[in-house]
Amino acid sequence: MTSQRADARRNYARILAVAEQEVAAHGADASLERIARVAGVGSATVRRHFPGRRALLEAVFGERIAALVARAAELTDATDARAALLEWLGALTTYAASARGVADALVQDGLTGPEEVEDCSAKLATAVEPLVRRAAATGGLAADVTAADLLTLVTGIALATEHHPAEARRLLGLVVAGVSPAH
């Protein structure tokens, strides 16, 4: 861990910084080769620090994901459980719609299987779980809705509105209220 060499740490930081820009500019399938060039390192170095595109994306989004997890923890104590959940979902939607590639990363997360506990969607799911439980307990959430369902829906909205990010929040509103609630 800390035994990592100083230059390695330096390169790690440089690559990550460039990767953030590139992913923001070109989405989840930004060119790793290009990231290496811009960062002034060899392509092998990028691959060493981040084995595979997934690893790089997770690192890029890690901070924001952590922020969302923290936000969820704060909201756990809110008086209105339903409002807390909705606010968190809104924050997630805004982020997923604005940060190109994050939604792709989330939908790909399911592939690795349950042993991979470190992936982004697992972190998020664990984080909302308490909010979901509280909202469900107070009747603020349909009974058969799981945390995973909500993440999937938000991810889907973000993916489908890739070219119209402004619509994302509105669509979330529709999903929450119901497109055609039973009368």
Partner DNA sequence: TATGATACGGAGGACCCCGCCACTTAGCAA
Partner DNA sequence: TTGCTAAGTGGCGGGGTCCTCCGTATCATA
Q: Which residue has the tokens 């990010």?
A: 165
Nearer to a copy of itself, 20 or 162 (CB): 162
User: Taking Cα atoms as reference points, which of 86, 118, 110, 104 lies closest to residue 158?
Assistant: 104
Question: Quick check: 91 binds a copy of itself (CB under 8 A)?
Answer: no
Residue 147 contacts residue 125 (beta carbons within 8 Å)? yes
Measured between alpha carbons, how far is residue 151 from residues 29, 67, 87 in Å? Answer: 22, 16, 14
Among 79, 142, 147, 166, binds a copy of itself (CB under 8 A): 142
Q: Which does 163 bind (CB under 5 to 8 A by kind): DNA, a copy of itself, none?
A: a copy of itself
- Residue 126: CB atoms within 10 A of its CB come to 13
Min CB(65)–a copy of itself separation in Å: 17
Q: Which of 19, 56, 86, 125 binds a copy of itself (CB under 8 A)?
A: 86
* Residue 137 in contact with a copy of itself, rule: CB under 8 A: no
For residue 105, the minimal CB distance to a copy of itself (Å) is: 12
183 contact choice in DNA, a copy of itself, none (CB below 5 to 8 Å, kind-dependent)? a copy of itself
Residue found by looking up tokens 């936000």 in the block: 71
